[in-house]
Structure 1
Amino acid sequence: MKWNVYLSGEIHTDWREQIIQGCREADLPVEFTSAVTDHDASDAAGDVLGAESSHFWRDHKSAKVNAIRTKTQIERCDIAVVRFGDKYKQWNAAFDAGFCAALGKPYITLHSADIIHPLKEVDSAAMAWAQTPQQVIELLAYVINAK
């Protein structure tokens, strides 16, 4: 079986690349999907539908266009990894975690210990909490290979 792992959340560090590379090195049968990680492209996703004079409506249209991708990929994934970084608040990641929980999709949260409290509800629905990409790789190896 090839596992489909959705990578959600923070876009300012290389955590995705670390997990992808680590899973390749471990020869895990994993395919990765993700939201658009180019911030400017994501913000402009709805621009093709016409210019908006209000930032609210531009963001609203782009969020809906981006949701076509994220909703579809989350529905198709076997497991999600939801990363919360320290620099920015990832409201979209919290939304993705809630969507996973509503669908009954297992997910792993990935964040440092200093934001445990604000993520208590998100973590309580997660199947695991990891603090490093290496821990995520090890969790995936165990889940996939039962070792």
Structure 2
Amino acid sequence: MNWTVYLSGEIHTDWRQKIMQGAKEHGLAIKFTSAVTEHEASDAAGDVLGKDENGFWRDHKSSKVNAIRTKNMIQKCDIAIIRFGDKYKQWNAAFDAGYCAALGKPYITLHAEDIIHPLKEVDAAARAWAQTPEQVVELLKYVTSDS
């Protein structure tokens, strides 16, 4: 079986690349998908509909355009990895986790121990909590195994 894994969350570290590289090194039959990870491109996704000087409306339009991609990729994935970093609040990642939970899509959270408390509800619905990309790779090896 080929698996599709959606990678959601912070965009300021190389966690995605570590997971994808680890899966490749282990020969895992996984297709990875993700939201747009270039911050400026994501923020400008709705600009094609007309520039807006008001930040609220610009963000509103761009979030709706980005949601087309995110919604479809989450619906099509077999499992999601939801990464929370320590530098920024990832409200979008929390929203993705809630959407996965509502759809019954399994997800794994990836974050440090020091933010367990603010993520208690998100973690409660997760199937696993990992602290490193390497742990995620090991989980993916297990769940995608034919045996």
Give 2:43's aligned residue: 43
Give 1:93's aligned residue: 93
TM-score by length of 2: 0.99
**Distance in structure 2 (CA, Å) of the matches to 1:51 and 1:129:** 40
TM-score by length of 1: 0.99
Aligned residue for 1:134, secondary structure, equals helix
Q: After superposition, give the CA deviation of every residue in 1:51-89 in whole Å (9 maximum; x if it has no partner).
A: 112100000000000000000000000000000000000
1:21 equivalent to 2:24? Answer no
Off by >2 Å, runs of 4+ in structure 1: none
**Distance in structure 2 (CA, Å) of the matches to 1:23 and 1:111:** 19
Q: 5+ residue gaps in structure 1?
A: none
Name the % identity: 74
Q: After superposition, give the CA deviation of every residue in 1:31-60 in whole Å (9 maximum; x if it has no partner).
A: 000000000000000000001121000000
**Distance in structure 1 (CA, Å) of the matches to 2:55 and 2:63:** 12
**Distance in structure 2 (CA, Å) of the matches to 1:51 and 1:132:** 40
Give 1:144's aligned residue: 144
**Distance in structure 1 (CA, Å) of the matches to 2:24 and 2:52:** 43
Aligned residue for 1:13, secondary structure, equals coil
